[in-house]
Structure 1
Amino acid sequence: MHPYIPNTEKDKKEILEAIGAASVEELLKDIPQEVRLKGGLNLPDSLSEIEVRKVMGNLASSNKNLEEITSFLGAGSYDHYIPSVLKHLVGRSEFYTAYTPYQPEISQGTLQGVFEFQSMICALTGMEVSNVSMYDGPTAAAEGAILATVASRKNNILVSKTVNPETRKVLKTYLGFRDIKLIEVEEKNGVTNLEALEGLIDEETAGVIVQYPNFFGIVEDIKKIEELTHKNKKASLIMSVDPISLGVLKSPGELKADIVVGEGQALGGNMGFGGPVLGFMNVTEKLMRKMPGRIVGETVDVDGKRAFVLTLQAREQHIRREKATSNICSDQTLNSIGAAIYMASLGKQGIKELGLQCLQKAHYAHDRLVATGKFKPLFEGKPFFKEFVLVSESPVEELNKKLLEKGYLGGFDISKADYPYENAVLIAVTEQRSKEEIDSFAELMEVL
């Protein structure tokens, strides 16, 4: 008997008799011989559980992890500290099994956890309404762009080239299949070219997408971008934000954003091979009825007690599929609950302290590296948060190989993206990095 297909010979005989076939061969006789598999699969012999554990252990040991190496890599995924309470709480079965609630009212604990996430992410972004979550940051940006076109009934989306290249690729894919025109706005000295932006905004513009801080770590002049965007009254300002930066920077709500999206991995998510992640989306009250995804609302039950429900469900495909605002049919419920636990464990003061540490340590690392004489700033004088771009005397790929041998994960090689900069490296510094680690990194970079 095959260990994973528990059919005995007696079972097979009864099945064949029931369908009127004398043998399995007779059952398959209509499949032409020329397309049949001849012999067994070209796979190694099966292993016992003990042997499999040893094989997998040897494979795993060939990988590097953040317990062994010191990371200065960012570009969208960051090495932030994850409080131990988070892993303990999301590992509880009532949270760990959380999924998109299709019969939501029986899942009051899950709904309350998500409601708290929505409340905290709105407080962080300064916006009015949040959904449960999206798949990830890039798809949240794509859904935000689609929302802008639905709300305005316009068909053009402008996106700054200072937005993460991976996000722009996802935008091209999503919007291309909806026949929405995506227009890229050139960058100038590391920020959005405002003259180019002003020249591109017209009556067909549904929205403008900018990143805050942008892909190079620079804090854009959102006030000027907002003024240009809102000259066209139907155009939406869509901001893709790093939630950690909002502990020290002005919130998108203060900056008059219409739609706020972002990647929530920094809110308690591991970096491991790209996840787990969650995308978040916040909008103004004016846009909430057109926003994709689930919204958890607070109400009272028949006894007058506090209760939670999925609200405004008529927006969704499982109610009116042909009029759905989006094709999103799932979300990252567990990750959003994890993000809520993360934000609650830090609190307002903790988020602010976290942002300040990232800001100060990044500027210290920048100055230490420039002082070596081996690096110079690519964008001189631009305000940055926790990432910055330096130009190296040697190719970044070679530099990163040498760094890895010494136990360091180097910065992102800008040449791998669609920017015309050679030997430029994007370095990220989070609260995880100590002064000793930064000093050692700078000393090593000086001699490599």
Structure 2
Amino acid sequence: MRYIPNSPQERGEMLKEIGLNTAEELFRSIPEDIRLKRSLNVTEPLAESEIIAAFEGMASRNTATVKPSFLGAGVYSHFSPTIVDHLIQRSEFFTSYTPYQPEISQGTLQYIFEFQTLVAQLTGMEVANASMYDGSTAMAEAYLMAQRVTRRDKVIVAASVHPEYREVARTYTQHGDLEIVTANFDEATGTLSDLSALDEKTAAVVVQSPNFFGCIEDLSSLAKKAHAVGALLVVVVTEAISFGLLKSPGACDADIVVGEGQSWGIPASFGGPHVGFFATRDKFIRQMPGRLCGVAYDKNGNRGFTLTLSTREQHIRREKATSNICTNQGLIALAATIYMEAMGKKGLQEVAEQNAQKAAYAKKKIGEIEGFSAPFSAPTFNEFVVRGPKSAAEILETVRAKGVIGGLALSHYYAGHDNDILVCVTETNSREQIDELVSLFR
């Protein structure tokens, strides 16, 4: 596919065809007082060498890439094999579009099918779709799916679910008839504790594990409580590497598992693009948003791949659609697939074990510092909260001035936690870096 702009003559012909003289007339509906009256601040054409120098100059300003970082909270620093970038830059993948024509899209359809298979295996669920925009929108879609499945209009979401995910879901559902109730967490354990709002009007209980504080929730217990009143259990996972070590949500009787796949070889990239995943039980498949790629056979019995289910409103009658999700993060899903297949089962387990071990070491060492403690008693994976002797923002600024990104001040999201710091440790953090962080906290 070529990306060639229209010539001035071609633009003039198109304007003439629709009865206009200038392109500005296309924007007549926009009030004059909010239109930009100046040219965009765009440079004149540059030589290739000048462009490279300009980008290198901008990149050099991103000093965070060379600083030891212990920042997580939904986006994580993980090692990605070079084969991931190498393969996704093949032109067949880089410019591919939605595989509407299976006869010419077998490669794209195959990796989508493999992505679905891997997600289903890791989550312990029976079926997964062909990816979502990101973890937050996947969670919002889970709200709506639970409402459709149960025909109930109340969702209980734990306050320990990522605050930005909850904001996105609220925006997503604010004009519908869904009631969202926030359930408090236990200040002693850091896990969901208040299910007083759970009743027979509840469509779903939504919980994150490991949660925003890094604490691992008791999913089996929550599933029993939700199912006792006919509600679904929705599990959100923002740190996908945890699947390599923790019991899968499916094995804990979760009904819907959604989350963010950025940890599967996707760079932080200043917040995106990332890739969401969505998995559920086979009996709910027709209520699942997005698309599903499946296996089919031609008249000669040869196996192939095709889109077998597509429930968005562009494809079927609007009143029958489950979602208006318009695309999947195809290229990013491919990168995640390559990462998972390159690492393999043992590789994913080893990475997860390294995360847990290094985080446990850091948690122990920080806890030995006078004035520091761990406010939550629940077990953790690669993130944990520490409480300092003074403002977390002040501590982190002091550490940052020494060239280390020490974590996230919880007061940014949670009132009353002024001294609490969310620390994340992954396989990319060396023992020397952890020891340096500990010495700076002293």
Aligned to 2:62: 63
Question: What's the CA shift for 1:108?
Answer: 0.5
Q: Indicate the SS of the match to 2:98.
A: coil
Deviations 1:328-384 (A, max 9, x none): 1111111111111111111111111111111111010011112222421121x3200
Change (3 A) 1:12 1:268: closer
Aligned to 2:393: 397
Aligned to 2:232: 236
1:82 to 80, 83, 90: 80
Aligned to 1:375: 372
In 1, Cα distance between the equivalents of 2:36 and 2:141? 47
Question: What's the CA shift for 1:193?
Answer: 4.2
Deviations 1:206-253 (A, max 9, x none): 0110001111000111122111101012x1100002321111111111
Q: Please tell me whether the aligned partners of residues 358 and 429 of structure 1 are also in contact (alpha carbons under 8 angstroms).
A: yes
Change (3 A) 1:96 1:52: closer
Deviations 1:81-106 (A, max 9, x none): 11111111111112222333233442
In 1, Cα distance between the equivalents of 2:55 and 2:39? 22
Superposed counterparts of 1:74-153, under 5 Å: 74-153=72-151
In 2, Cα distance between the equivalents of 1:173 and 1:37? 27
Are 2:431 and 1:432 aligned? no
Q: Please tell me whether the aligned partners of residues 289 and 315 of structure 1 are also in contact (alpha carbons under 8 angstroms).
A: no
In 2, Cα distance between the equivalents of 1:248 and 1:153? 35
Letter of the 1:421 counterpart: H
Q: Indicate the SS of the match to 1:240.
A: strand
Deviations 1:383-407 (A, max 9, x none): 0010000112232223323323322
Superposed counterparts of 1:32-431, under 5 Å: 41=39, 43=41, 46=44, 48-49=46-47, 51-66=50-65, 68-189=66-187, 190-194=189-193, 196-197=194-195, 199-233=196-230, 235-241=231-237, 242-313=239-310, 317-379=314-376, 381-431=377-427
Change (3 A) 1:37 1:160: closer
Deviations 1:151-201 (A, max 9, x none): 11100000000100011111111121222110000111243443x21x211
Question: What's the CA shift for 1:56?
Answer: 4.1
Report how many aligned residue pairs link the two structures.
432
RMSD of equivalent CA atoms: 2.9
Q: Please tell me whether the aligned partners of residues 393 and 423 of structure 1 are also in contact (alpha carbons under 8 angstroms).
A: yes
Q: Larger C-alpha radius of gyration, 1 or 2?
A: 1
Letter of the 1:430 counterpart: T
Letter of the 1:440 counterpart: E
With the length of structure 1 as denominator, give the TM-score of the two structures: 0.89
Letter of the 2:373 counterpart: K
In 2, Cα distance between the equivalents of 1:64 and 1:388? 25
In 1, Cα distance between the equivalents of 2:43 and 2:236? 50
Question: What's the CA shift for 1:418?
Answer: 3.0
Q: Indicate the SS of the match to 2:8.
A: coil
Q: Please tell me whether the aligned partners of residues 203 and 232 of structure 1 are also in contact (alpha carbons under 8 angstroms).
A: yes
Q: Indicate the SS of the match to 2:317.
A: helix
Q: Indicate the SS of the match to 1:377.
A: coil
Letter of the 1:141 counterpart: M
Change (3 A) 1:13 1:348: closer
Question: What's the CA shift for 1:43?
Answer: 4.5
Question: What's the CA shift for 1:52?
Answer: 5.0
Letter of the 1:7 counterpart: P
Letter of the 1:69 counterpart: K
Q: Indicate the SS of the match to 1:410.
A: coil
Question: What's the CA shift for 1:415?
Answer: 0.5
Q: Indicate the SS of the match to 2:316.
A: helix
Aligned to 1:441: 437
Q: Please tell me whether the aligned partners of residues 185 and 192 of structure 1 are also in contact (alpha carbons under 8 angstroms).
A: no
Q: 402-411 or 71-80, which moves further after superposition?
A: 402-411
The percentage of aligned residue pairs carrying the same residue is: 42
Q: Which 5+ residue runs of structure 1 have no aligned equivalent?
A: none
Question: What's the CA shift for 1:430?
Answer: 0.5
